[in-house]
Amino acid sequence: MSKSQVLFERAQQHIPGGVNSPVRAFRSVGGTPRFFERASGARLWDVDGQEYIDYVGSWGPMILGHAHPQVIAAVQHAVSRGLSFGAPTEAEVTLADLLSQLIPGLEMVRLTSSGTEATMSALRLARGYTRRDYIVKFAGCYHGHGDSLLVKAGSGALTFGQPDSAGVPSCLAELTVVLDYNNTQQLAETFAKMGSQIAAVIIEPVVGNMNLIVPTPDFLNTLRELCTQYGSVLIFDEVMTGFRVALGGAQALYGITPDLSTFGKVIGGGMPVGAFGGRKDIMRLLAPLGPVYQAGTLSGNPVAVAAGLATLQLLQVPGFYERLGAATRSLVEGLSAQAQAHGIAFSAQSVGGMFGMYFRAGVPQNFDEVMTSDQKMFNRFFHGMLAQGVYFAPSAFEAGFVSSAHGEQEIALTLTAANRVFGELAG
């Protein structure tokens, strides 16, 4: 047995499923999750000493690659001065100032310790601001595990949501309307029917949780117009896209300013940092200023903030996103060319430093189309690449991530491995 197998068996004694987050358990792809013991740059090493080129990047945060020397130094400096005070520090003020500078719509911002806290807090704030109860989300979008967001579409004409997890009360799920991503007509019809009751719409402006899905040009613009027309709060969930698809996030890429935005992942540089913020007139309702309560023992933690600040400083280097985008494009173009050469039904696309690959001809535009991908082929591809020392997300329905540490050598090694695996799949 490998050390990962031994550890996985041991882990399942006291940790549900042996993991602290479900997607890590390899349930979607089968097999034993790899237990890692160290990482550097674009590479990971598991407990059996196997080296991998990493395209998960801790699900997005490691945009500079692992263990970047300047981030490590910033964390070491912060750690030497104490781990947590539960009181204000200058560093979190500097981070708030920097986020507001880099994201123009972010007039005010509150730090949390995860993306889930950020999205659930933004929804509570939007409900408090509008005094309305209904929210809208889109099938296939994931916004963390807040109760109001673990909701699936109602059946048939029933637009009110149903729980998508045990433990979510139906009476709460019914307040979440679930629509189809990129369905502009359905969105307009829903607002015409109940727009004055909608507190907020929360959306991944580029989706990374049903694999990668990009918005059609009119979809986000129509959404912005309808939220403005009906006084609903537009929330861009940029936990994944923030500082990943562009320095100013998807809102900069598409030129649309939401009313509130949520962040996570990259802004912590691998440490636990989330954030939500936006219009000052909305944020002013937050405690201790206003009646909407929100809090967190480790919110703005000085060590986590130090990692985030060091990361955000390095992202502002001229040409950073041009290089990151070029490396990601070269990966997806190479994969597509090789799959085609082997006659495999495959497509891929990228936005900035995130990418999607689909075992279907043509990139999907919504949840239903994503579901037509050949999941069995993906699982065979995933394990074939893992055996070749390339670590993709262990699910056909997740996006992948490239870092600035992925150079020509890493991309070339990945494409050489992929050529071999596509050959096996075609064989």
Instruction: Tell me the catalytic residues.
Output: 142, 237, 265
By CB under 6 A, residue 23 contacts ligand KE4: yes
Query: What three-state secondary structure class fits 134?
Result: strand
Q: How far is the CB of 119 from ligand KE4 (least distance, A)?
A: 5
Is residue 414 close enough to count as binding ligand KE4 by CB under 6 A? no
The span from the CA of 59 to the CA of 187, in Å, is 30
Place of tokens 């009119």: 218
208 binds ligand KE4 (CB under 6 A): yes
Contact between 391 and ligand KE4 per CB under 6 A: no
| Residue 240 in contact with ligand KE4, rule: CB under 6 A | yes
Spell out, one character per residue from 79 to 98, where the chain touches ligand KE4: x when CB under 6 A holds, - when not: --------------------
Please choose, out of 234-242, 248-256, 346-354, 403-411, the segment that lies near ligand KE4 by the rule CB under 6 A.
Answer: 234-242
Measured from the CB atom, the residue of 114 and 159 that comes closer to ligand KE4 is 114
Phi, psi of 356 (to 5 degrees): -130, 145
- Cα 418 vs. chain centroid, distance in angstroms? 25
For the chain, the 3-state helix, strand and coil shares in percent, each to the nearest 5, are 45, 20, 40
Among 71, 75, 200, 239, binds ligand KE4 (CB under 6 A): 239
- Exactly one of 21, 80, 155, 185 binds ligand KE4 (CB under 6 A); that residue is 21
- 184 interacts with ligand KE4 by CB under 6 A: no
Is residue 268 part of the contact set for ligand KE4 (CB under 6 A)?
no
Size, binding site for ligand KE4 by CB under 6 A: 19
Q: Residue 331: which of 339, 320, 342 has the closest Cα?
A: 339
Closest CB to ligand KE4 among residues 274, 364 = 274
Residues in Cβ contact with 153 at an 8 Å cutoff, skipping those fewer than 6 apart: 139, 159, 161, 162, 178, 179
DSSP 3-state assignment of 392? Answer: coil
Q: Is residue 308 part of the contact set for ligand KE4 (CB under 6 A)?
A: no
Q: Which residue is nearest to ligand KE4 (CB)?
A: 115
Nearer to ligand KE4, 43 or 265 (CB): 265
Choice from 159, 182, 209, 294 touching ligand KE4 (CB under 6 A): 209
Rg of the chain on CA atoms, in Å: 21
Q: How far apart are the first and last CA of the chain?
A: 29
Which residue, 24 or 329, has its beta carbon nearer to ligand KE4? 24
d(CA 57, CA 94): 26
HEC string of 224-293? HHHHHHHCCEEEEECCCCECCCECCHHHHHHCCCCCEEEECHHHHECECCEEEEECHHHHCCECCCCCEC
| Non-local CB neighbours of 6 within 8 Å, separated by 6+ positions | none
Tokens 């549900």 -> residue: 16
Residue type, 255: G
- The C-alpha atoms of residue 270 and residue 25 are separated, in whole angstroms, by 20
Binding part of the chain for ligand KE4, among 9-17, 100-108, 204-212, 415-423 by CB under 6 A, reads 204-212
Question: Which of 61, 128, 258, 264 is close enough to bind ligand KE4 by CB under 6 A?
Answer: 264
Site string for ligand KE4, 394-413 (x = CB under 6 A): ----x---------------
CA-wise closest residue to 106 among 236, 299, 245, 196:
236
**Cβ distance to ligand KE4 smaller for residue 142 or 381:** 142
Q: Which residues, numbered 105-164, are part of the site for ligand KE4 (CB under 6 A)? A: 114-116, 119, 142-144
Task: Output the CA torsion 165→166→167→170 (10° steps).
Answer: 70
Part in contact with ligand KE4 (CB under 6 A); list of ranges 201-209, 277-285, 329-337, 363-371: 201-209
Q: Which is nearer to ligand KE4, 303 or 417 (CB)?
A: 303
Instruction: Quote the least distance from Cβ 113 to ligand KE4, whole Å.
Output: 8
Q: How many CB atoms lie within 10 A of CB 9?
A: 12
Q: Which stretch binds ligand KE4 (CB under 6 A): 176-184, 236-244, 314-322, 352-360?
A: 236-244
- Check if the beta carbon of residue 241 is closer than 8 Å to that of residue 208: yes
Residues found near ligand KE4 in the complex (CB under 6 A): 21, 23, 59, 114-116, 119, 142-144, 204, 208-209, 237, 239-240, 264, 274, 398
